[in-house]
Amino acid sequence: MRPRLALAATGFLCALGTGAAAAAEAWRPNDAMLALYDKAKAEKEIDLWAPAAIEIGWVPAEFAKRFPGIEVKSTADLQGATKIIAEARAGRHSVDAWSFAIGGMIEVQKRDLLASEDWGRYGIAKDNVFFGGQAAATHNFIYTSIYAKPAVAQADLPRRWADFLDPKWKGKLVAQAFLLPRMMGFFALAWGPDEAERWGRTLIDEQKTLIVNTPSESYLRSGERAIAVGESISLAAQYKADGLDVGYLTLDLVPAGQFVIAVLKDAPHPNAALLMAAWLASDEGRALYESLVHEADIRPGSNSALAKEIAASNAKIMLEDVNTMEQRAKYYESYSALVRGQR
């Protein structure tokens, strides 16, 4: 979710386009969506926001294939929530549809700036609807660890998160200051906050993990570090597209941030926005997220190949949840200070 992701987007999308075409052939919009399309065409455009370019760079072309005649204008901004709230206070409304993790969306939702929709009309399962109808699930940000294949023998790879505390990994690990404390928030929910903190302190202080503010790709490429702890499966795919020989680990716990799509209550193009949102949350939209940017839906009932792979590993999946996200955010704040050496 860092700005750096935008730089690799074009090549990454081209490399994975074949799978997306196959996914698109199997799905068709229902009658309600087609009726919505008729209304949306009159609005002619949509302004779609998301935290990073790679997550929506593919959308304009694919949406045009399914629903021609509507221009998609996309904006990547990690501070989208702040700007949406500021616009609303000033009586301005420029955003139509917004894709973000539910934790990052909550402040906008609390201010009643999201529209409530009948997602079921467009084939979206009830279990994939959030905030009482104000957002629908699209994909998950799946935490993993990425290893440089030339640097690590398969037999030596960690099988559990606790294995990173083995002395053999001292001086061989790297982690992002942005992602590691967010992942530790999931660990706090699973293990308890004290155990999660002990794990993090040991990882940093005793294992001498290198904490960086950029993606870990260059450290794996140079051989300076062998494993990047707490990155994502989508980043592993990006590193491969950049020519780096890496693999990712499915360990005993799979933390997964939950991304959703929402329509703004005062969207300038409400029908086009809802059409876009319902399509992104549809089977086709979710399949395209997986095939184009390796951001899969691993919620229960998903047809995702990655979801099936993770299920076969018997790992425990921890999905971001509206009932626990505020508690996890508090853990994140504490662990972020720890990771950055502030406590």
Structure confidence at residue 25 as a pLDDT band (50, 70, 90): low
Average pLDDT, the chain: 92
How confident is the model over 287-326, as pLDDT tens digits? 999 999 999 999 998 989 999 999 999 999 999 999 998 8
Report yes or no on 304 lying in a domain.
Answer: no
Q: Cα–Cα–Cα angle for 209, 210, 211, nearest 5°? A: 110
125 plus 157 within the same structural domain:
no
Say if residue 294 is in the same domain as residue 317.
no
Task: Tell whether 118 and 252 lie within a shared domain.
Answer: no
**100 and 11 part of one domain:** yes
Q: What percent of the chain has pLDDT over 70?
A: 93
Whole-number Cα distances in Å, 189 to 48, 105, 157, 184, 325:
33, 20, 25, 9, 10
Q: Which domain holds residue 38?
A: 3-139+258-299
Please give the average per-residue pLDDT across 98-108, as a whole number.
Answer: 95
Count structural domains, the chain.
2
β-strand partners of 257: 141
What 8-state DSSP symbol labels residue 263? E
Are residues 83 and 36 located together in one domain of the fold?
A: yes
Q: How many Å apart are CA 154 and CA 285, to the nearest integer?
A: 35
Q: Is the pLDDT of residue 150 over 50?
A: yes
Q: What is the pLDDT of residue 3?
A: 34
C-alpha count within 13 angstroms, C-beta hemisphere, residue 70: 29
50 vs 24, 101, 186, CA distance in Å? 22, 9, 23
The residue written with tokens 């894709």 in the block is: 99
pLDDT digit string, tens, across residues 165-200? 999 999 999 999 999 999 999 999 999 999 999 999
The CATH number for 275's domain is 3.40.190.10
**Residue type at 110 in one-letter notation:** K
Q: Are residues 333 and 228 in the same domain?
A: yes
Residues 267, 122 share a domain: yes
Q: 202: which DSSP letter?
A: I
**82 and 93 housed in the same domain:** yes
Do residue 76 and residue 131 come from a single domain? yes
